[in-house]
Amino acid sequence: MGEKIQSGAETPTGAWRVERDSMGEMRVPADALWGAQTERSHENFPIGTERMPREIVSAFALVKKAAARANCRLGRLGEAERDLICAAADEVLDGCHDADFPLVVWQTGSGTQSNMNMNEVLANRGNQLAAERGAELERPLHPNDTVNMSQSSNDTFPTAMHVAAALAVTGRLLPAIDQLAATFARLERECAGVVKSGRTHLQDAVPISFAQEISGWRGLLECSREELLAAMPQLVRLALGGTAVGTGLNAPAGFDVAVAEELAELTGLPFVTDPNKFRALTGKDALVFSHGAVKGLAANMMKIANDVRWLASGPRLGLGEIKIPANEPGSSIMPGKVNPTQCEAVTMVAVQVMGNDAAIGFAASQGNFELNVFMPVIAYNYLQSVGLLADAIASFDERCASGIEPVRERMAENLHRSLMLVTCLNPYIGYDNAARVAKKAYAEGTSLREACLSLGLLTAERFDEVFRPEEMV
């Protein structure tokens, strides 16, 4: 490409400036903070609409801020340059420059262009701040030499992935889980003493209290929470300091430990340096393992949402054992119809997460030699899963679960019509005789009491003494 000036996308003003990198000159929109390498990626990858996630942009800003502080601690970077990088990074973290990160997911598999996008934005914005402060040097920050000091795209992108993943799980997903679990705990207390028929294989089973059934939903959430936390020790191990291939070339001794300490201080999470940078650069199993817990939560939410919509089915021709909030009309043709739309949204999100898990697993298996070059798609799918699940759980809690009400009369009616109540007679008449009672009652459309008395297996008084469905839970 030499010195040829490339044309970029049209700008609102039509104004351009010329930026240079190792391959020559590039025309960049005059008001953009990015530079030549970002512009090349912007032009060379017109693929899809999926932008690099905002969580990755924020994580990169944290990484660059931590790296500047660590480099200053180790005597590699001056305080003035450190402060400029940190100030520019803070603006990125505050969302002041979101438009300056235009790159799509479908770029180089190492995320090099996104690393350079951040380097260029921080350098250009830092230089603007320097000019405003009357700095002696006209452009004190260089994207590669200053902002990217002691780093490589190969160790910054996996680090940003881990930082973004850990922050998303702790900052978004766990709070959503906790809120829904708290709602279920409240419903357990409110529904104490309500007994209903249990169901297995979608068939009638022995009784269960509604509070016990709800406690099962709460337990699913609590176990998923434990599994997500069990994956955190691997997520907080960082590749930063490995530079290009894991040897730490061009990074000062102690940089890896120092930058992990800085990230821990900035985020409040216990980040540490990975003791094996060769594994950290190429292996993505930590994200696979963590997303497995995310998928497990999606599977549990699928079960909970399906239970709720089954129990609310009807209102007259289904189970109809609970009422859920009516949020919007359910049909454009059937007046008065209301559908379990929050449940449907949760189940669709669960399906998406399961698909994302397959993509992450395939991508993680593609590490070759010293690097995995499927990192952007791993990051995109992981963060989409966490974001969608967090949103879906919060919406389900607010617009469905928090308004669940038991229909006590329907529960009692179904309970006393259940043939599986015959199970309580096993100790008195035996399994085979109890089966005869159930089959006779079913065939003749009578009650268990009538069938049992007709077969002469128990007296009426003894039947009434031992047949107490509410005590079977």
Of 331, 365, 416, 454, which residue is the catalytic one?
Answer: 331
Q: Tell me the CB-side half-sphere exposure of residue 362, using CA atoms within 13 A.
A: 8
Asked if 88 and 146 count as a contact pair (C-beta separation under 8 A), the reply is no
Per the listing, tokens 């089973």 go with 205
DSSP 8-state symbol, 471: G
Of 97, 201, 395, 418, which residue is the catalytic one?
Answer: 201
Asked if 375 and 157 count as a contact pair (C-beta separation under 8 A), the reply is yes
Residues 6+ apart with CB under 8 A from 44: none
Helix (H) or strand (E) holding 91: helix 79-93
Please give the backbone phi and psi of residue 238, each rounded to the nearest 5 degrees, phi first: -110, 145
Q: Which residues sit opposite 415 in a β-bridge?
A: none
Asked if 49 and 103 count as a contact pair (C-beta separation under 8 A), the reply is no
- Whether residue 416 lies in the annotated active site: no
**Helices 210-230 and 174-190, axial angle in degrees (round to 10):** 160
Per the listing, tokens 């490339």 go with 6
d(CA 449, CA 464): 8
d(CA 141, CA 86): 12
- Whether residue 201 lies in the annotated active site: yes
Residues 6+ apart with CB under 8 A from 288: 360, 361, 364
Helix (H) or strand (E) holding 238: strand 237-238
d(CA 360, CA 381): 7
DSSP 8-state symbol, 339: -
Q: Which residues sit opposite 20 in a β-bridge?
A: 25
Give catalytic residues, as residue numbers.
201, 331
